[in-house]
Amino acid sequence: MKVIGEVLGEAENPIEEAEEYKEKIESLNCSQEIKDKLNAEAVKLMKMPQGSHEATVVRNYLDKCLEIPFGTYSKESINLEKSRKILDKEHYSLDKVKDRIIESLAVFKRNPDFSGQILCLAGPPGVGKTSIVKSLAKSMNKSYVRIALGGIHDEAEIRGHRRTYIGAMPGRIIEAIIKGKSMNPIILLDEIDKVGDDYKGDPASALLEALDPEQNFSFTDHYIDFPVDLSKVLFITTANDTSTIPAPLLDRMEIIELNSYTEDEKFHIAKEHLIKKEMKKHSLKAREFKISDEAIYCLIECYTSEAGVRNLEKSIASLCRKASVLLENGQKSVKITDKNIEEFLGPKKYTSDKIPKKDLVGTVNGLAWTRVGGTLLPIEVSALNGTGKIELTGNLGDVMKESAKTAVSYVRSRAAEFGIDEEFYKNKDIHIHAPESAIPKDGPSAGLAITCAIVSELTGIPIKRDVAMTGEISLKGNALAIGGLKEKSMAAYKAGCTTVIIPQDNVKDLAEISDEVKGSVNFVSVSDFNELMPIALCSVPKPVKINSIIRNKETQARSNAVTQ
């Protein structure tokens, strides 16, 4: 048949093509089982009519399988000191993440066959999750491949399509192995928290096998249809919100939190990295373009509101573009200062949170965590003559509304101790408001602040202007632990607070707070609301016993009347 094909002048000879495939298959560094399967496909191709659609499917399948780098491993070059220098040079701060990466490198150096838990870098946008993985690949001398999982709904994107039609293709993990040209690349699964599911399947469930060190030595892609060893692949994932990751998938990963940057950290990142990067990108020389330190702080405080530094980088790029125009028009040099920055970027977009100018009744400095870092959350309470209604405004979520109701119930139960009229819930309407109503607010951590504001309003005792507080309150007045203390404490520091009241159970979290904040803010821990009052209120309310005595007499009189 081969000779007849040559005599007839056929350009594509199936027999010759199949033999070429067989030669390539025999040269693969893989198991005999895989070779037998591919050889069977080559034999099938030999018997197919020239130009048939099925032959195209088989041909594409063999080409794709031959691209898999069986037995090819990049030689790891792990030097812990060098790796730490690379990480420190390319990333400011993030010490916790760097320490964890160095620990992994030390283990890989001692045991190259180690297959540990999958790392998940979780944090707000723009804090450097993706870039630190690039630095890790550079320090390990490994190939780096990024897989964007955001918006994936089809399970076939992970496991591949079955070979039942011409457009079938392998999943993204196999494609990443092929792109990395080795069986031990670093594969970054970016935005794993944004994987969706619908009638096409659940991609998150398909990732379970790939991300399990005990199972991924035999990962089977529907298109490839034979086991591929992924045990040498270093998988790292990133996420903005771990609460949206399915529990079985989250259980397979070790979460490393990347918190928002402080103002000082952003300043160093801008000065040491971002400005140099943007000047190089815009071909600006040091003698042509300068930004003063005051201008950098102004950029951070007045033109960006974020946890990371992405918008800060965009603002610096905008300054570089405007400077380029002036330089091209003949100006010798451009210097950006806090005095002329508005000429380049326009009016300031944000004003920093500030504490009140004097002690106020019924107004307290709460603290909140947001995706762009911590913020001061003022809470106002007014007691009005009425019938005992509770009004909640300020775009509050269900959890925060429940905290407010819990606070009111607690104050009612301890009214006599706080020197408050015990009948206030009958003749007073309580209005609780959180300013900036356009911004949704939720969470239990404002419980202590709301309670303090209610007591202040009903007793007429002002709250100290420079005190901020955070913590959930129970129905019995206990201060319960909260999250995001690092971001909240930074917000209090920036606003000018000198004292921050936190729950006793959050004392352990003070280790994560920067020395800059600790040196300016006094953190006071409390276990219940009674401990909070002497710290937050200008004076401690005195208990009222008269109401209780009168009430007891009235109760006794009614009891006697019933008896008679």
The residues annotated as belonging to the active site are 445, 488
Write the CB contacts of 95 (distance below 8 Å, at least 6 apart in sequence). none
Report CA torsion sign: 76, 77, 80, 85.
negative
Distance CA 448, CA 502 (A): 9
Look up residue 411 and give its two tokens.
Answer: 């104050």
Residue 283 backbone zone (phi > 0: left; psi -120 to 50: alpha; other: beta)? left
Q: What secondary structure does DSSP assign to 357-409, as a single string? A: SS-BSSEEEEEEEETTEEEEEEEEEEEEESSS-EEEESSB-HHHHHHHHHHHH
φ, ψ (nearest 5 deg) of residue 66: -70, -15
Residue with tokens 């199936």, as numbered in its chain: 14
Angle at 424 between CA 423 and CA 425, to 5 degrees: 90
Cα within 13 Å of Cα(20), Cβ side: 10
Question: Which among 491, 487, 527, 486 has a CA at the least distance from the CA of 510?
Answer: 486
Residues in the chain: 564
Q: What's CA 515's distance to the chain center, in Å?
A: 23
CB 220 within 8 A of CB 227: yes
